[in-house]
Amino acid sequence: MNRIITISRQFGSGGRTIGKEVAKKLGIPCYDSELILKIAEKSGLSKEYIENYGEHAPSASWLSNIVGRDYNGRSVRDDLWLVQHEIITELAQKESCVIVGRCADHILKNTANCLTVFVHASPEKRAKRIVEIYGESDEKPEKRLIDKDKRRKSYYQFYTDSTWGDATKYDISLDSGKFGIDKCVSIIAQLY
């Protein structure tokens, strides 16, 4: 049976980098932006649309919930969720791999041999990291963190009915700000 590592992460915690490094160390693929492209190809939705809405929960506004629904009452975002669900399930059947984000831990919880990881860090460390990686922007890094995490949290909650960041939902949770990227990579690879 294939063995999968799923990585959920706070924005700026380095979870994506950790995923890539773990995959490299284990000699297995890591799906992240690649996954986004696969989703785009399959669903016919534009890459920009997916990057903007891939991990955002449906809006609570009644208007946006009426506009853009098909005859089954599904929104474009619901369709995206279904396509994503299918792709992640297929990836896990095809090969051992690392999957970053996209609720993969939840999608695979009953079907695959999974190691589920949550990566977090203090707001100070993450603010520092996002400026280093993504550069400065008009918005303060602290505000960017809060916005992005709020969206990820609400997306996760909406589609999985579980709490994002609840320790009991993951096999292991790590503070990458405390341990550093390399140590996190080595622990995850060790547990694989």
Question: Tokens for 151?
Answer: 């969206």
**124 to 183, contacts with a second copy by CB under 8 A?**
165-168, 170-175, 178-179, 183
Q: How far is the CB of 116 from a second copy (least distance, A)?
A: 9
**88 to 127, contacts with a second copy by CB under 8 A?**
118, 120
Phi, psi values for residue 114, rounded to 5°: -115, 140
Q: How far is the CB of 7 from a second copy (least distance, A)?
A: 13
Q: How far is the CB of 120 from a second copy (least distance, A)?
A: 5
C-beta of residue 180 within 8 angstroms of C-beta of residue 119:
no
Name which of 1, 6, 187 is nearest 114 in CA terms.
6
Q: Residue 40 or residue 130: which is nearer to a second copy going by CB?
A: 130
Q: Residue 85 or residue 128: which is nearer to a second copy going by CB?
A: 128
Q: How far is the CB of 61 from a second copy (least distance, A)?
A: 29
Beta bridge partners of 98: 5, 30
C-beta of residue 83 within 8 angstroms of C-beta of residue 42:
yes
Phi, psi values for residue 5, rounded to 5°: -115, 125
Instruction: List residues binding a second copy (CB under 8 A).
Output: 10, 118, 120, 165-168, 170-175, 178-179, 183, 187, 190-191
